[in-house]
Amino acid sequence: MNELRRWLIETGMPPHGYCLLWQPDLLALHVISDAVIGLAYFSIPIALAVYLRRRRDTHFTWVVWLFAAFILACGTTHFLSILVLWVPAYGLEGVVKALTAGISIATAILIWPLLPKALALPSPAQLQRLNDQLLKEAEERAAVEGQLRQAQKMEALGQLTGGIAHDFNNLLMIVSGNVERALRHAPEQAPERRNLENALTATTRAGQLTEQLLAFARKGSLLLISQDIGDIIRGVHDLLARAAGERIAIEVALAEDLPPVVVDRNQLENAVLNLLINARDAMPGGGVIRIVGEDVGPEVKFSISDTGTGMDAQTLERATEPFFTTKPVGSGSGLGLSQVYGFVDQIGGRMEIVSEPGTGTVVTLYLPKEAGPDVAHIAG
């Protein structure tokens, strides 16, 4: 132990302060500088230890601990520099420096193979972009799931509506047949004849209602032929103008080379009339209804827009549900858009509605140029 002590603290050699001529200003400069550096070095391993204890998922933990040991050894050498100013512990200082050198060499050697792996780790910016992408995909997935639920709900409503309308139509046929038979046998001046005529008119209106329900349920019988939309709009233009009223202007902008579409003419006319009436009702103070048609590949994009009050998100979500209406009681059956939706879906097309409160509404029908093989109706 004496030999070890003699080697660690060489009593026969002068302390480092002797080389500084024991000048107080030089001694203070070295002591303060080494003390500040040593304290700074000691604080770094403490901070790393706290970080590693709280973030146990950190990659390459052992390298961080090795780096902390290297910093701690560097700090120790600065405190020993203060000691050797008065005590010639050059052996102890050399041992600590040798230990520091060993740790520094090990750190320098081991850190280079880890550099490619460290660079392969995603940066915070990359993680943020990935997180934004995941959030966007989650929103898109939620939107698709919402559309799927809406489609399933509409399908269930269609099946229920179709079944009810079919049975109701059968009953109407029996009622109207008996009323017609009674009318044929009723005298011309009989008081009950007027009642029978009113009953027959009511059954006719009820029959029209069942046709709307069957159109929504996609169970109606359609006659499909290749139709020119321009001819259809020109044929019903006067009717549309009368239905719109004097305070509403109708603008028609159909492409000159617009190809024909495979539709049922009567159903398309009814769909256009329904959409125009909805647009008219959304503009009680007047406005503009614009009818546009353009060629978009395998389909014809046919849209009717208005400058009316528009719809909020909740109303837009339920717009095609049968019997849903925002009109006062007695002003609408709530079957207009649902009939259009069912008709377009039945012929293999699709319908889109874009609307915001105060900006009007655009209803777009994508009508097929050719009837698809899965269209369940009569095509002529």
pLDDT digits (tens, 9 = 90+) for 63-96: 888 889 999 999 999 999 998 898 888 888 888 8
The answer to whether residues 333 and 209 touch, using CB atoms and an 8 Å cutoff, is: yes
Pairing of strands 378-379, 299-306: unpaired
pLDDT of residue 251: 94
pLDDT value at 256 more than 80: yes
Query: Which residue ranges form the domains of the chain, and what is each CATH number?
Result: 2-121 (no CATH), 141-219 (1.10.287.130), 221-380 (3.30.565.10)
Please name which of 269, 285, 280 lies closest in space to residue 215, comparing C-alpha atoms. 269
- Rounded Cα distance between 202 and 154, Å, is 29
Q: What is the DSSP code string of 218-267? A: T-S--EEEEE-HHHHHHHHHHHHHHHH-TTEEEEEEE-TTPPPEEE-HHH
φ, ψ (nearest 5 deg) of residue 12? -85, -5
pLDDT for the residue 242 = 87
Quick one: pLDDT at residue 76? 93
User: What is the number of other CB atoms lying within 10 angstroms of the CB of residue 267?
Assistant: 22
Residue 27, helix vs strand vs coil: helix
pLDDT tens digits, 101-113:
998 898 888 888 8
Q: Is the model's pLDDT at 380 over the cut of 50? A: no
Paired residues of 299 in beta bridges: 296, 368
Mean pLDDT of 351-364: 92
User: Which residues in the chain belong to E strands, given as ranges?
Assistant: 223-227, 248-254, 261-263, 287-296, 299-306, 350-356, 360-368, 378-379
pLDDT digits (tens, 9 = 90+) for 282-307: 998 899 999 999 999 889 999 999 99
Select from 259, 267, 263 the least CA-distant residue to 296: 259
User: How many Cα atoms sit within 13 Å of 372 on the Cβ side?
Assistant: 13
Q: Tokens 């719109």 belong to which residue?
A: 244
Whole-prediction pTM: 0.47
Residue 379 pairs with which residues in a beta bridge?
224
Phi, psi of 212 (to 5 degrees): -65, -40
28 with 82: CB under 8 angstroms?
no
Q: Which residues are CB-contacts of 182 (< 8 A; sequence separation ≥ 6)? A: 196
